[in-house]
Structure 1
């Protein structure tokens, strides 16, 4: 294996840790609550704090990677995450465990932006498919692995399993990634006010979606407006919103990813609840009926890099629309085979869209902003999922939820069709792309 291959392998190991840990611990919440004698509503902080921290830290650490390079940041992130995971195995209270989860999320958040930078440095964009595959597969196998580990060795095992992955990734990356480049101004301030406003907006959004409180809506508007105002004026902005807006088609990519994840996770979270509350399935049976969504998404992601072309994103949008619209026809008499079939239809666009939009993000990001844009891309995924949780909680019933998600899916198709026409008409790379590469060319 070449040195670049070893470096990317280390990046893949680090990248899969975020989706793995966000999904694996979900099945351990019940035994955690039993050990600490806490209700389910309290133990969910173990999951919530991970999503919240990762959503904020991905672009923050992406900006750091743009300034200092991927080698030291990735190694530091893996070391911090490993320490947090080790301490979590000895936690004697929920606050300690929640703190460890926050630190763990901050550490693994360095992986994806660093992976994009390593791929950018190597000039081998085809390796983005492997990154997408690692993300999708880890998220799918996380609940299964977490369940097995919890059953065999208790909930603390879901944290022990991280340690060998993190340490191997650290060693491989340190040996294989070339020295970080010396860049002028790399020690400039991180723009703490910009980071604070961004974090406040994300926290307010989460609180608004989960608690639907009006004060959170006010904080969200004020923080988001303040963030955009400040970032346009800061000497060294956390996110250079001017450059972001000037990069052709980049903002629509991020916005489309938010909408796509909103529609997808709206169905993913809403369907199990309907299966249990309306059709009377137990949790295990409902999980089996939903499993085809994750399974088909993994298969398509693995195969998608070989078959992706100009049609990939429009097809994924159409399949998403079909999948969520079909949910509006479900009722008490819906057969199990139809539920499984619709799950397969929903999983296919997740794999295709994840591949297509990730590659498009990579190609349209200005080179000097590769890390922070990669972080924003991941944050867009989390924001879409957060919005979906709020919408599912607010609507409840499957049919009206499906109708809302159908409108969102239609919006996704409209944006993708417009982008396809715009990018296809020129046939040239946008500023910030690797020369000779376009989204619609096979890697």
Structure 2
């Protein structure tokens, strides 16, 4: 029989493994904006080519997330995470050596997009949600997210240094090796979806669970709100470095901004995940969107300087990915954890649909107007809308009247 120390050692192993996988996956994704100018200048491609590939990546990530969620809910998350890490490395290899826009778009947009659905929030948070009881779930998601955030933070200066010393293609090759090394950590996240079959309502099929969720207004409101989140983060992550360079700031300042976002994100994820354990998650989400929106409005209204950039990056970082454990928590709170990966996958599709438009429209609008101004305005209005949409969400646990039971979280 395991003692308390063994239990906590096992719990830390789980959250560290999950955090490292997410840190590698999201860290590589977070630095892709640093490659915009090196890739397009070296290949002689317009920014729309780069933007379309990233936009497709976000869209495919969203499309694939419910499907990989279903696989994880049926066969376990470990297989999904391991396969996703291998696909990620393959996509990066294609990105580094592609000589045509079609091959580049396939590697970056299709392969990496699908790989992200197996290595990022949906798969890792789904596994941890099943491996931890409800009273420890907020802690687990928060700590894993914090570790992942630290990985994203260190990835920024590392990627920038490698681009300068090795060249962009070799830097991407190193990132591919990072994903290969992270793949074996999947063994630590072997959840057992079938164990939830002993819970009430586990006889429900995935289809029944999805139909039940789609019938809930709050589920749709989460989707719509997450659309704004994806639009804002993808636009800023992909285009902020180019925006700053266009405004006369250095590549070092652009990298510093991404690093500050990643570092502040480590604290933001933990605080949001922890606060979700004792505060209403929907109100926390609404507050995040309003704060983020105010930060963007002030950023474009005030004169651009290193101080204003650093302040903006810090506030954005605090609110960057804190939405994910809170949204995942609402889904688990309302619908239970039996099909958490599948249901969160459907909600996350809204996020990635927003990401697609944030990246793609950023490139299209810039090529047409030589300015990102209209994208900043769009991000601000979407943030206000998202903050309002979360307020009326019914976050009470679903009651299955036909069986007279409430599924435990």
The size of the alignment, in residue pairs, is 375
User: Is the counterpart of residue 120 in structure 1 residue 136 in structure 2?
Assistant: no
- Relative contact order: is structure 1 or structure 2 higher (C-alpha 8 Å, sep ≥ 6)? 2
Listed as ranges, the gaps of 5+ residues in structure 2 are 1-7, 198-204, 401-405
User: Is the counterpart of residue 312 in structure 1 residue 321 in structure 2?
Assistant: no
The TM-score normalised by the length of structure 1 is 0.68
CA distance in 1, matches of 2:36, 2:310: 27
Counterpart of 2:249 (choices 275, 278, 281) is 281
- Describe how 1:249-398 pairs up with structure 2 within 5 A: 249-263=218-232, 265=234, 275-277=244-246, 279-288=247-256, 292-308=260-276, 309-310=279-280, 312-327=284-299, 329-330=301-302, 333=303, 336-390=306-360, 392=362, 393-394=364-365
CA distance in 1, matches of 2:238, 2:39: 22
CA distance in 1, matches of 2:237, 2:317: 10
CA distance in 2, matches of 1:318, 1:103: 34
User: Is the counterpart of residue 152 in structure 1 residue 165 in structure 2?
Assistant: yes
More deviation, 24-33/121-130: 24-33
CA distance in 1, matches of 2:298, 2:14: 43
Deviation sequence 1:172-210 (CA, Å, 0-9, x none) = 4336625664999xxxxxxxxxxxxxxxxxxxxxxxxxx
Deviation at 1:130, TM superposition (A): 3.2
CA distance in 1, matches of 2:191, 2:255: 44
CA distance in 2, matches of 1:312, 1:182: 31
CA distance in 2, matches of 1:30, 1:61: 33
Deviation at 1:370, TM superposition (A): 1.5
Deviation at 1:411, TM superposition (A): 1.7
User: Is the counterpart of residue 414 in structure 1 residue 382 in structure 2?
Assistant: no
CA distance in 2, matches of 1:53, 1:398: 25
Deviation sequence 1:103-155 (CA, Å, 0-9, x none) = 34423422343323322322241311134335544555444322222333342
Listed as ranges, the gaps of 5+ residues in structure 1 are 185-235, 438-443
CA distance in 2, matches of 1:325, 1:91: 38
The TM-score normalised by the length of structure 2 is 0.72
- Describe how 1:65-144 pairs up with structure 2 within 5 A: 65-82=72-89, 98-101=105-108, 102-111=110-119, 112-122=121-131, 123=133, 124-125=136-137, 126-134=139-147, 136-144=149-157
What RMSD, in angstroms, separates the aligned Cα atoms of the two structures? 4.1
CA distance in 2, matches of 1:267, 1:160: 24
- Are the aligned partners of 2:228 and 2:354 in contact in 1 as well (CA < 8 Å)? yes
- Are the aligned partners of 1:262 and 1:385 in contact in 2 as well (CA < 8 Å)? yes
CA distance in 2, matches of 1:34, 1:404: 28
- Are the aligned partners of 1:292 and 1:343 in contact in 2 as well (CA < 8 Å)? yes
- Are the aligned partners of 1:61 and 1:109 in contact in 2 as well (CA < 8 Å)? yes
